[in-house]
Amino acid sequence: MPNPKRRHSKSRTRQRRAHDALKTPQFYLDKDTGEPMQPHRINPKTGMYKGRQIIEVEESE
């Protein structure tokens, strides 16, 4: 198994790790409820996706 011959500098290490930061999740405001939602997901409260009823949701009290 090959091993590094020389130590990597702090600058080189930090440049590599600069891409490891967490990205903020994307969201949009739902037209019907006005709540923030993740794109390409079924709305768990209404069961709607792209204006169509996908799953039946029971009313919670």
Asked whether residue 13 is assigned to any structural domain, the reply reads no
59 has a pLDDT exceeding 70: yes
- Amino acid identity, position 8: H
Collapsing DSSP to helix, strand or coil, 37 comes out as strand
pTM of full prediction above 0.85: no
For the stretch 11-33, pLDDT in tens is: 999 999 999 999 999 999 988 78
pLDDT-derived band at 58, boundaries 50, 70, 90: confident
Q: What is the pLDDT of residue 61?
A: 59
Gap between the Cα atoms of 31 and 9, Å rounded: 50
What tokens were used for 57?
């949701």
Asked whether residue 14 is assigned to any structural domain, the reply reads no
Q: What is the span of the domain harbouring residue 46?
A: 24-61
> Are the C-beta atoms of residues 26 and 19 closer than 8 Å to each other?
no
Asked whether residue 8 is assigned to any structural domain, the reply reads no
